[in-house]
Structure 1
Amino acid sequence: MTTFTNDPTMPTPSFPGSHMVIDDHYVFISGLTVADLSNGHAARGNIKEETRLVMRALLRMLEMEGGSFADVVRVDIHLTDLHAIQDMDGVYAEYFEPGRYPARTCTESPHICGGSNVEITVMAKRQHQSAQ
């Protein structure tokens, strides 16, 4: 069964979409930026802090479904300036076990919603629920 849900700690998306789509096998989390977070506005312009706040929010969303970054199999990242990739990677790598990084795409997207500088989308394997 597929579930379409929004994170109750964030505003309802202003676009026709859901924060998370969950099926029997995967958790799909829509692209997340600091503009989506109530505490994110002060971080705009600091790629390391934007990345840190987005990664923390993604972790919280994964944990809501009983998962963690160890379950992530794919990540898509959009940066307004690809020259910032090393700063973003420095923070991003902290959230994964070394040598166990998910498949990833990173592109330059000069116009990210809300004036953010990084947007991250995640696909994670869902923890199997025990039969009741």
Structure 2
Amino acid sequence: MHEVIYTKHAPEPIGPYSQAILAGNTLYVSGQIPINPETTQLIKSSIEEETHQVMKNIAAILKEAGADFSNVVKCGIFVKDMGDFAKVNEVYGQYFLDNPPARETVEVSALPKNVNVEISCIAYIA
């Protein structure tokens, strides 16, 4: 059994997927891009602002599932330019102050809506 997790405080899915799925005690959060859920507009001002919006979207989904960043055990980061890695990493690190999760960061040729960063995660719900 699994449960679809949905919140209006994160962007609407732009395809046939859920914001997150809770399967047992494991929460799978779909890749989030820098869309402001209140305005539905893309944030494209800087890679730092894009990354903050992505992390805010993830936070809203985690909260809906009764979790927060301390529950995250794995993240996947996808960037269009590995030259942005240090800036993305700086912002990302602000959300994981203690015991950061496992993760990978991968440069890709394109992302949905031509954004510069997308992040997904897996969390454990106790």
What is the TM-score of this pair, normalised by structure 2? 0.89
Match of 2:125 in 1: 126
2:44 paired with 1:44: yes
Superposed CA deviations along residues 79-130 of structure 1, whole A, max 9, x for unmatched, are 01011000000100000124x1111011011210012100000100013xxx
Identify unmatched segments of 5+ residues in structure 1.
Answer: 128-132
The answer to whether 1:83 aligns with 2:83 is: yes
| Cα distance change, pair 110–35 in 1 and its aligned pair in 2 (3 A) | farther
User: Residue 43 and residue 12 in structure 1: after superposition, are their counterparts in 2 closer, same or farther (change >3 A)?
Assistant: closer
Q: How does 1:65-104 map to 2 (within 5 A)?
A: 65-98=65-98, 100-104=99-103
Largest Rg, 1 or 2: 1
Matches within 5 A, 1:6-25: 6-10=6-10, 12-25=12-25
Cα separation, 1, equivalents of 2:49 and 2:6: 24
- Structure with bigger helix share is 1
- Is the Cα contact below 8 Å between 2:43 and 2:49 reproduced in 1? yes
* CA shift for structure 1 position 12: 3.9
Q: What is the rounded CA distance, in whole Å, between the counterparts of 1:13 and 1:66 in structure 2?
A: 20
Deviations 1:51-82 (A, max 9, x none): 00110111111111111101100000100101
Structure 2 residues not aligned, in runs of 5+: none
**TM-score using structure 1 length:** 0.85
SS in 2 for 1:44: coil
Q: How many residues align?
A: 126
| Contact 2:10 2:60 survives alignment (8 Å) | no
Counterpart of 1:107? 106
